[in-house]
Homo-oligomer: A and B are copies of this chain.
Amino acid sequence: MASLRGWREGLVSARTTDSARDIPEATVARLPVYLRALTTLVDNGTATCSSEELAAAAGVNSAKLRKDLSYLGSYGTRGVGYDVDYLRYQIAREIGVTQDWPVVIVGIGNLGHALANFSGFRSRGFRVVALLDADPTRRGEVVAGIDVRDFADLDAIVREHGVAIGVIATPATAAQDVADRMVEAGISSILNFAPTVIAVPAGVDVRKVDLSIELQILAYHEQRKQAEATA
């Protein structure tokens, strides 16, 4: 009995200290979706929810949700469900958005403007510390309360604020050069909105946002609906 207890404690302790390493990438990608659903529930004054309710709010099936949350050691309470506020905190901590992330945005065209003004960054721990543009005519412009500065200031800004994450919102032709300069300055995570693939050294993470992908998924379903309506 003592040895069984020791074995179980070992398991729990392993889960507590190493949990991060065991989470599959597909689960990581769903954590922000759960966080958003939980934030809506908190805003609506909901204290507890079942896995079915949370799954419906997040748009996944409940078996997948329970499996995903089990990687975080969150199993809810039988007959009660999940404590909404605590689960939100657990997921936010797991993602890393309980800490403050200073971010720079490079390329202050329409998309850069939209990103600088996007309230969803600030509410999730991302603080835009600088807006940079290579075009001298943009300098002095103030967007969302932040001065647009010279791209040449990148090094100094990254050092001053400890910036780890950079956002590229330039045209495709400028993106690789901007990425190279970001990496040289010490940035190790890049979110790329430019419609091109950028190459980075090992150890640097790049995520690409393609604004047309969701539209293509809609087209897929729309085509099927139209074919069914015709049939």
Contacts and interface: CB of A to CB of B under 8 A. Distances in A.
A interface SS class: helix
A217 B207 contact: yes
A218 B205 contact: yes
A191 B213 contact: no
B215 A203 contact: no
Interface stretch (A2-10, A27-35, A77-85, A129-137): A27-35
A120 B28 CA distance: 27
Interface in A206-231: 207-227
Interface stretch (A45-53, A90-98, A147-155, A178-186): A90-98
A227 B18 CA distance: 11
Given A197-B40, A207-B214, A211-B120, A95 B220 contact: yes
A125 B20 CA distance: 41
Interface in A65-112: 94-97, 99, 101, 103, 109-111
A113 interface: yes
Interface in A12-36: 20-21, 28-29, 31-33, 35-36
A165 B220 contact: no
A216 B125 CA distance: 9
Interface of A: 20-21, 28-29, 31-33, 35-36, 40, 94-97, 99, 101, 103, 109-111, 113-115, 117-121, 124-126, 164-165, 167, 188-191, 195, 197, 203, 205, 207-227
15 contacts: A20-B227, A29-B217, A95-B216, A96-B220, A97-B219, A101-B219, A103-B215, A109-B114, A110-B113, A120-B195, A120-B211, A124-B215, A124-B216, A188-B225, A203-B225
Given A189-B222, A207-B217, 20 more contacts: A20-B227, A21-B224, A28-B217, A32-B212, A33-B213, A96-B216, A96-B222, A99-B223, A109-B114, A118-B195, A119-B195, A124-B216, A126-B219, A164-B226, A188-B222, A190-B218, A191-B215, A203-B225, A205-B221, A207-B215
